[in-house]
Amino acid sequence: MLENITTALAILFEPMRLLALFAGMLAGMVFGMLPGLGGVAAVSILLPFIYLMDSYSGLAMLLGAISVIYTADTITSVLLGAPGSPASAPTAIEGHALAKQGKASLALGVGFLASMIGGLFGALILSVAIPIAGPLVLALGTPELFMFALVGLCFAASMVGKDIVVGLAAACFGILLGVVGAAPAAANYRFIFGQSYLMDGLSLPIVALGLFAVAELIGMVAAGGGIAGKPMTMGKWGESFREFWRSRWLIVRSSIIGIFGGFVPAVGASASTWIAYGHAMSSTKDKRRFGKGEIRGVAGAEGANNATVISDLVPTMLFSVPGGPAAAIFLGALFSFGFYPGPRMVSETPDLMYMIVWSVALASVMGAALCFAVTPYLARLTRINFALIAAPLLLIMVAGAYQGTQTFGDILALLVLGVIGWLMKNAGWPRAPVLVGFVLATPMEQYFWLTTQIHGFTWLTRPGVLIIASLIVVPMLLGLVRKWRARQTTAPADSTDPESHTTSDDEAPRDTAVLLLASSLLLVTFAYAFYEMLGFRSNARLMPALGIVPGLALSVYILGRQLHRLRRQGRIIHLGSRQELPVLAGILAYGVAMWLVGFSLATPLLLAWLLLRCARMRLASAALYGAIVYATAQGMFALMRLTPPSGIWFSLPMPW
Amino acid sequence: MFTQAHPLKTLSAAMLVAGGAIAAAPAMADDFYEGKTIEIVVPFGEGGATYVAAKFLEPFLEKHLPGNPRVDVQTRPGGGSILGANWFEQNAEPDGETILFTTSSTSNPYVLGMDAVEYDLAAMRPAYSLPFGAVIYVSPRTGIDSPAGLKEPDMPLIYGGIAAAASDLPTLLAFELLDLDIQTVLGFDGRGPARLSFERGETNIDFQFTPAYMSQVVDMVEAGTAVPIMTGGSVGEDGILSARDTAFPDYPSVYEVYEELYGEAPSGVEWDAFQSIGAVTFNYGLTAYLPEGTPDEILEIFEATIAAINEDPEYQQQSQDAVGGYSLLPASEVTESLSEALQPSDEVREHLRTLLSEEYDVDL
């Protein structure tokens, strides 16, 4: 075995292969950083290139990208508050709050280091556990997979924000979004309104982009100025190393949680990150800062998500059952190079196995180092007028969405979800539970029906199910005990809380009109969904009902509470929200223009508006900058081998 | 009795190829694709079985098509392959430069007449097919060691699948045809997860397509944890899905199993339904379609190219691992039989629709 480990290192240290690994890493970094273009985009763009190389180089290239995605997307999560994937949502919540307080370097530094540890742990597990992981993966039957998804959802819904009613309603809304499309158990199509676009359901990158990135973008363009209120002080990495060292055991434990998550196909990634986040919360004495910028939340989540993406490779290589979409593409690449994943591949080509381990380990360390190196430059971006960054960012988001199915449906879905995200943000409602509900609705439904069909109700007594269920029940009991004890020794310490004067944006009063609109829309949506749901077959109805019925009740309560407050407190006008309306309208107009005259003609209009009106650039510099951004956007479409959306009235013919 | 089918088929193909080569003006064919790019549209995501097969064939097409064009595999996923096929119907020109490479996931909704389908698959011109066989196997715990045992298992049979209207359809139709008592559990998100469930002992009868069977199930058979029973079969010279799968000559086809169980050849609407869906799923598993109205010259070019690829020793060697060692089927062997399978009689279509909506609760 030792011999194989060194041979594998020698295989990887061919200059061409190292170069391929490095190129993959760079692609992974760039795509990880760009909002909405996560691992799948990076790996699918690299895929055509790997066929030009030998098998080891090609695989090293993909692994380089896969290993750094979750390190690099820390940057977007922290600076923009838009998570690259549901598994980074906790980082976006805590890290972005820290960035707004001017502590971006702390959040980023701890995030990178935690990601690196997660990656190294993942590599370690790959090297030692693969020969013995088979029985473990097989021990996780469909009931255990169902329970894992349920635990993840419970953690996400209960841990975000103080207003648990709104958090639960958001999770219910996420479930509603998640059940759009074909029902797994009954071959019913749900909420597709006759559109074949919706038959496969909404795609994850579009939901994540719409809910988070579009709304953040609108807010920042409207506010003018940079991302951080005050100039960020970068370069103080010392504090992040100290904080990392303080949280080292938490990161190690989170990595272990993440590794187990990787063994659970389909539900592992997002569930395990939230479980790690929950663990970070329960192992921290002072919980008040959670949600407002708690570095331990970042440490836990980042340690877990990188470990998961790498231990995902265990079921991929042992059973050719990929854990996530990036692993699915990696699996396809293995097939293409004539490696047929299975126990035989593991035992017969140990060199390949250890080459994979080395690639992952090397990329994890180099990726973290590279992130440290580029961050000071990126952080400078946070101080320049955001409207300047918004232009390329919005085009990247459009390209990212459009690679879903390459139909206008992608753009429409992005904009509709963007409006929803904007409403939720301005109503002060948490969006992370929507994302988690969306991701976990499908596997939960799937595994629930499989479980009951295969096992009847005896599955409830399986030891695995009971162990996983204890993950929900034990912290809940501990929390109750703690609360009870706290009540015994009540100390009115809260009023002297030094942090309490920082009334952050999250607690500012919300615009009544936005709140009323959001609550009414939520109620109407759930009411309509309830009506349509009655027509589903029973097998297709259970999971939507789990989201819609409580969602309907909660939204009635939320609207009622809102009306009550309106009567008691009178109308509140929140200027921030109103100022954002023109930007929201501008982006919607861009969507309409794209529909009518196509991307190539609508985009110059958008650029003119953003650069001249919003950023107030001078004509000459705006023209130059706009031309560069436009050329880059077209180049991006060409690189992804996509034809930009064409209009229904007119389409600018392109020279290529 | 089935061993003869193959050489005969090759012979007749060779004659057709020769005929085609004579008919086509050689000067035109020689450099037809020079400097051109062929876009192969795969209506599924990257990394899936169809994508992998398309990428596997890419260099062979580049090498053997006259004028050595660049072949570019493009993915257009969505709507369970319907979006990509709809796009192809609306955008592809009949100039031989755009090809739709797809599976029964595209043809089943067409055969069933689903609303979302905007493409006319039977009007398109198949250029070549790659068979995509499948083996049905059981767990030894069931006590089944031969097809006859399927009728009296030691324990209730339970099968895990994805969705009745998807790639599970031919298997379910085979169970129906053979009148087997099997509990069907649908809702897995792929054949891989369904196989994991078999390995865990949650289900005890399963099927896998050839590539996955070779890499995963062969080991299980050697270890004694899986018992192969039958294959979907392949289309014989009589145009019926009765012959043995060329990749698994030792295992009987569904047709033979029926004969063994019931002492007569299968017939009737149940057989016709299985034959129609099974042929498209297995024998013409991966088919390259050219748009409606593509001229004969282009099809003749493909006819000759496919024959050349099948002769290429490199293809013969690599296809063993990559796609189960199947030879490509040229248009002359595909067109007629595929067209019949894509346009079953109203009676068969009605049978399929009724079966799906009543037994499997599919909303058509």
Question: pLDDT per residue over A50-103, tens digit each?
Answer: 888 888 899 999 999 988 888 888 888 888 888 877 788 888 888 888 888 878
Cα–Cα distance measured from residue A25 to residue A577, given in angstroms and rounded to the nearest whole number: 39
Q: Distance (Å) from the C-alpha of residue A635 to the closest C-alpha of chain B?
A: 18
Residues of A in contact with B73 (CB under 8 A): 48
DSSP-derived 3-state class of residue A493: helix
Cβ contacts (< 8 Å) between A444 and chain B: which residues?
Answer: none
> Is residue A257 a contact partner of residue A279, using CB atoms and an 8 Å limit?
yes
Neighbours of A299 (CB within 10 A): 30
Among chain B residues, the shortest Cα distance to A330 is held by: B47
Asked if A103 and A79 touch (Cβ cutoff 8 Å), the reply is: no
Contact criterion met (CB < 8 Å) for B79 and A200:
yes
Size of interface A-B (CB pairs under 8 A): 153
**Residue A537 sits at the chain B interface (C-beta within 8 Å):** yes
Per-residue pLDDT tens for B92-151? 999 999 999 999 989 998 998 888 889 999 999 999 999 999 999 999 999 999 999 999
**Is residue B163 within 8 angstroms of chain A, CB to CB?**
yes
Distance (Å) from the alpha carbon of B189 to chain A's nearest alpha carbon: 8
Instruction: Check whether B182 has a pLDDT greater than 90.
Output: yes
- Closest CB to A450: pick one of B45, B188, B360: B188
Q: Which of B116, B183, B189 sits opposite A199 (nearest CB)?
A: B116
Residue A281 is given by DSSP the state: H
Q: How large is the angle between the packed helices A164-178 and A432-455, nearest 10 degrees?
A: 60
pLDDT at B20: 45
Helix (H) or strand (E) holding B228: strand B227-231
Q: CB-based contact (8 Å) between B239 and chain A?
A: no
Q: Does B203 touch chain A (CB under 8 A)?
A: yes
For chain A, positions 186-215, list CB contacts with chain B under 8 A. Answer: 186-189, 194, 196-197, 199-200
The verdict on a CB contact (< 8 Å) between B45 and A328 is yes
Tell me the chain A residues in contact with residue B195 when contact means C-beta distances shorter than 8 Å.
Answer: 319, 321
Secondary structure (3-state) at B37: strand
Task: Give the pLDDT confidence score for residue A382 in this predicted structure.
Answer: 67
Quick one: CA dihedral A415, A419, A425, A428, positive or negative? negative
The sign of the dihedral angle between the CA atoms of A204, A206, A210, A216 is positive
Exposure string over A308-336, b if 16+ CB within 10 A, otherwise e: bbbbbbbbbbbbbbbbbbbbbbbbbbbbb
Q: What is the mean pLDDT of residues B337-347?
A: 92
* Phi, psi of B160, deg, nearest 5: -110, 130
Query: Tokens 């995200």 map to which residue?
Result: A421
Residue of A nearest to B204 (CA): A454
Q: Which two tokens stand for residue A572?
A: 């509140």
CA angle B334, B338, B339 (to 5 degrees): 120
Distance of CA A74 to the CA centre of its chain: 10
pLDDT attached to residue B272:
94
Q: Which chain A residues are Cβ-neighbours of B360 within 8 angstroms? A: 187
Max Cα separation, chain A?
A: 76
Residue A1, pLDDT above cutoff 70? no
- Asked if residue A380 lies in contact with residue A146, where contact means CB atoms within 8 angstroms, the answer is no
- DSSP-derived 3-state class of residue B116: coil
> Which of A47, A186, A319 is opposite residue B196, by nearest beta carbon?
A319
Encoding tokens for residue A403?
């690679």
Q: How many CB atoms lie within 10 A of CB A546?
A: 18
Structure token pair of residue A98: 């820290």
Which has more confidence, A183 or A589?
A: A589
Shortest Cα distance from A365 to chain B (angstroms)? 27
Chain B residues with CB-CB distance to A450 below 8 A: 160, 185, 187-188, 197
Please answer yes or no on whether A196 and B211 come within 8 Å at the CB atom.
no
pLDDT on residue B330: 95
Chain B contact present for A452, CB below 8 A: no
Asked if B186 contacts B163 with a C-beta cutoff of 8 angstroms, the reply is yes
Residue in the structure block whose two tokens are 């190393």? A241
Q: What is the dihedral of CA A346, B47, A38, A308, to 10 degrees?
A: -30
Q: Give the C-alpha separation, A539 to A582, whole Å.
A: 44
Are B109 and B89 in contact by the 8 Å Cβ rule? The answer is: no
Nearest residue on chain A to B42, alpha-carbon basis? A405
Query: What is the Cα A276 distance to its own chain's centre?
Result: 15
Cross-strand pairs, B288: B101, B128
Q: Does A641 touch chain B (CB under 8 A)?
A: yes
Cα separation values, A290 from A90, A293, A430, Å: 10, 6, 13
Q: Which helix (H) or strand (E) holds A375?
A: helix A350-381
Tokens of B235: 């289309």
Interchain proximity A320–B216, CB inside 8 Å: yes
A321/B192 touch (CB, cutoff 8 Å), yes or no: yes
Please report which confidence band the pLDDT of residue A286 belongs to, taking 50, 70 and 90 as the band edges: confident
Query: Which of A139, A341, A446 shows the shortest C-beta gap to B187?
Result: A446
Partner residue opposite A328 with nearest CB, options B47, B73, B219 = B47
In the predicted model, what is the mean pLDDT of residues A383-409?
82
Return the bridge partners of B72, or none: B39
Q: Do B46 and A141 touch (CB under 8 A)?
A: no
Task: For B77, name the nearest residue in chain A, comparing CA atoms only.
Answer: A405
Q: Which of A307-311, A587-591, B95-99, B225-229 has the lowest mean pLDDT?
A: A307-311
Summarised one tens digit per residue, pLDDT across range A7-43 is 888 888 888 889 999 999 998 888 888 776 666 777 8
The CA distance from B215 to A341, in Å, is 7
**Is the pLDDT at A338 greater than 90, yes or no?**
no
The answer to whether the CB of B137 falls within 8 A of the CB of B206 is yes
Mean pLDDT over each residue of chain A, to the nearest integer: 82
- Rounded to 5 degrees, what angle do the CA atoms A111, A117, A119 make? 100
**Residues in contact with A323: Cβ distance below 8 Å, sequence separation at least 6, in sequence order:** A262, A264, A265, A266, A268, A269, A308, A311, A312, A313, A315, A316
**C-beta atoms of A199 and B200 within 8 A:** no
- The answer to whether A563 faces chain B, any CB pair under 8 Å, is no
As a whole number of angstroms, the distance between CA A45 and CA A22 comes to 15
Q: How many Å apart are CA A327 and CA A330, to the nearest integer?
A: 5
pLDDT single digits (tens) A147-199: 888 888 877 776 666 677 888 899 899 999 999 988 877 667 888 888 878 88
Chain B residues inside the 8 Å CB shell of A322: 192
User: What is the structure's pLDDT at A311?
Assistant: 84
User: Which candidate in B73, B185, B317, B362 is best for mutational testing of the A interface (most A CBs within 10 A)?
Assistant: B185
d(CA B46, nearest CA chain A) in Å = 6
Pair of tokens at residue B256: 């033979």
Nearest residue to A252 via CA among A346, A116, A72, A133:
A116
- For A47, the closest chain B residue by CA position comes to B46
Q: Is A511 helix (H, G, I), strand (E, B) or coil?
A: coil
Among residues A333, A331, A363, A341, which one has the least CA distance to residue A58? A333
**Dihedral of alpha carbons A200, A206, A208, A212, sign:** negative
Residue predicted with more confidence, A385 or A373? A373
CA distance B282 to B243: 12
pLDDT for A448 equals: 87
A184:B186 CB<8 A: yes
Whole-model pTM: value is 0.81
| CA dist., res. A496 & res. A489, Å (int) | 17
**Cβ–Cβ contact B179 with A under 8 A:** no
Listed by number, the residues of chain B in 60-89 with a beta carbon closer than 8 Å to a beta carbon of chain A are 72-80, 82-83, 86-87
Q: Which of residues 380-439 of A touch B (CB under 8 A)?
A: 404-407
How far apart CA A631 and CA A656 sit, in angstroms, is 13
- DSSP β-ladder status, B125-130 and B286-290: antiparallel
d(C-alpha B185, C-alpha A453), whole Å: 6
- With bands split at pLDDT 50, 70 and 90, how would you rate the model's confidence at A129? confident
Q: Is A337 on the interface with B (CB under 8 A)?
A: no
For residues A655 and B346, give the distance between their C-alpha atoms in angstroms, rounded to a whole number: 48
Contact A182 B163 (CB under 8 A): yes
**A341 in B contact zone (CB under 8 Å):** yes
Nearest to B185 among A325, A344, A453 (CB): A453
**How would residue A653 be classed by pLDDT, with cut points 50, 70 and 90?**
low
Per DSSP bridges, beta strands B37-42 and B227-231 are unpaired
Q: Is the pLDDT of residue B3 over 70?
A: no
pLDDT one-digit tens code per residue, B27-74: 455 788 988 899 999 998 777 788 889 989 999 999 999 999 989 888
Q: Which amino acid is at B113?
A: G
| CA nearest neighbour of B266 among B238, B232, B242 | B242
**Angstrom distances, CA of residue B219 to CA of A343, A605, B214, B256:** 8, 60, 8, 26
